[in-house]
Amino acid sequence: MRVQITRENMTFDLIVWQAFGRQDSGVIEQALALNPGIAALGAFLPVGTTIELPEPQAPKPTLLETVTLWS
């Protein structure tokens, strides 16, 4: 999925958050791997920059262990 920066003061992690609603499961690392050299543009990406984002995947379910205090 391609995203173009249309506003000032947009950061890479903010764009990932807006696209996926989360930043877990290595989503930022995957996005950085798809955009080599993006860090050279600085913390705030210039307007008009196009970045490639990974295809969205369902988050992994979290299993909670049940603890019984009295049995």
Question: Model-level pTM greater than 0.75?
Answer: no
**Burial per residue of 10-38, b for 16 or more beta-carbon CB atoms within 10 angstroms, e otherwise:** bebeebbeebbeeeeeebbeebbeeeeee
Q: By C-alpha distance, which of 68, 64, 53, 57 is closest to 4?
A: 53
Q: How is residue 63 written in tokens?
A: 């299993």
8 Å CB contact between 50 and 14: no
pLDDT tens column, 21-54: 877 768 888 899 999 999 999 999 999 999 999 8
The set of residues, in sequence order, having a beta carbon less than 8 Å from that of 56 and lying 6+ positions away, is: 1, 19, 20
pLDDT tens column, 9-18: 999 989 999 9
Domain ranges of the chain: 2-42
